[in-house]
Amino acid sequence: MPRTAAPLLTSPYPNSPIPRAADSDRRRTNASVILRSVLEHGPVARSTISRLTGLSPASVTDYCARFTELGLIQESATPLRSKGVGRPHVPVDLDDSRFIVGGVHVAVPYTTVALLDLRGRVLAERRIGHDTTDPSRVLARAADGLGALFAEAAGSTPLGVGVAAGGWVDRDSGTIVDHPLLGWREVPVREILGTRTGLPVHVDGHARALVNGERLFGRARGSRSVLHLFVGNVVDAAFATNDEVHHGPRSQAGAIAHLPLRGGTEPCDCGRVGCLQVELSERTLCRRAREAGIVDGVNPTHVVAAAERGDPVAVRLLTQRARMTGRAAGLLLDILNPETVVVTELGVIHREDCLRALREEVGDARASAVVPTSFPDSVLAVAGGSVMLDVLFRDPLSVSQATI
């Protein structure tokens, strides 16, 4: 978050009371920015939080007392020396020892289940291969996998579960509306996993989830506008301005699968050629690698491994894909003009030549704005967990009180 901020809510009519609903919104917003300040700057003195947020010292002290009581923050053992005369400040910091969140990411070949702490760090992670695409079966196995991880972390208190997936995901209803690659339609994920885990469950699209992960814990922290481009089997995007991710009606924003990609050659089921998803998907990468005799399966990491061994065709396939991803990023940059573009794409994550190819395609003037994901080793786990952690940091008092 920015280092300085104006007071968060003031009435346009200073002699009139702010309505009760506005009071509630103000309390939620104040709690959010204070906890975010502790996350970003901790260990941090309460007086510094007051200066950063524009909130009064008394208000900051009151919120910190409530957070301490709930176990979200704790006083640091090492006082901060004052620059002037007076007693040292006792700083506060996030207490990451008590609470955890569960994360679920539903991909095409497998589901990732994970535990994360309040700093977004992955504590445990498992992949569960799909033996069926039946949503009830897939989600039941995910719940069982989470249950096993929670049992292994018996000393921690779970606050809830975040679920991320590709396709059309409606955050408000907790539903995967349409995931063509899995054949899922109107799947009530929140209801199914909530019933099986007994925990609050929040659901969102994985590109939006990763925007939240980046602005909370990653390279995009403090950026005024962030675009995230996710290139896997599913290709989609998310955009955030002023710390708010755009969802659109029924959370359908970010569906870019059928945007035309210049130079594309792959036929799409929609009847056109060169649509973004069919051109860039990992399925297409693996098919091309099989045709070239590089791999004999459907695992895209095997293409990366072949490139690491020096296979020139594997290198060419990955750098070409990165260039096409750069064209997609450039198109979205033209439309949205974000301050930061985060790209999650296999070659860009693991190979400098792929990152260079992507940036060359974007162009020198904007290349520095494009960065790879901050979570190269755990991006899917972070996506799931970030759905829940975003809810926590937006309304920390309600989330923690509902669970404790």
pLDDT of residue 89: 74
User: How confident is residue 140, by pLDDT bands cut at 50, 70 and 90?
Assistant: very high
**Radius of gyration of the chain from its Cα atoms, rounded to whole angstroms:** 22
Amino acid at 64: C
pLDDT of residue 1: 33
From 342, 370, 378, 395, select the one nearest 214 (Cα to Cα). 342
Q: Compute the C-alpha angle 1/362/208, nearest 5°.
A: 40
Q: Spell out the residues 6+ positions from residue 272 whose beta carbon is closer than 8 angstroms to its own.
A: 258, 260
Distance CA 199, CA 214 (A): 25
From 44, 78, 105, select the one nearest 379 (Cα to Cα). 105
Other C-beta atoms within 10 Å of 276: how many? 26
Residues 159 and 99: beta-carbon distance below 8 Å: yes
From 360, 363, 355, select the one nearest 333 (Cα to Cα). 363
Question: For residue 232, what are its two tokens?
Answer: 């896997």
Give 317-358 pLDDT, tens digit per residue: 999 999 999 999 999 999 999 999 999 999 999 999 999 999
Residues 247 and 208: beta-carbon distance below 8 Å: yes
Give the strands of the sheet with 122-129, arranged side by side: 122-129, 110-116, 99-106, 157-165, 201-205
Give 276-320 pLDDT, tens digit per residue: 999 999 999 999 999 999 999 999 999 999 999 999 999 999 999
Distance CA 149, CA 128 (A): 13
Distance CA 254, CA 351 (A): 26
Give 12-66 pLDDT, tens digit per residue: 333 434 445 578 889 999 999 999 999 999 999 999 999 999 999 999 999 999 9
Give 87-135 pLDDT, tens digit per residue: 557 899 999 999 999 999 999 999 999 999 999 999 999 999 999 999 9
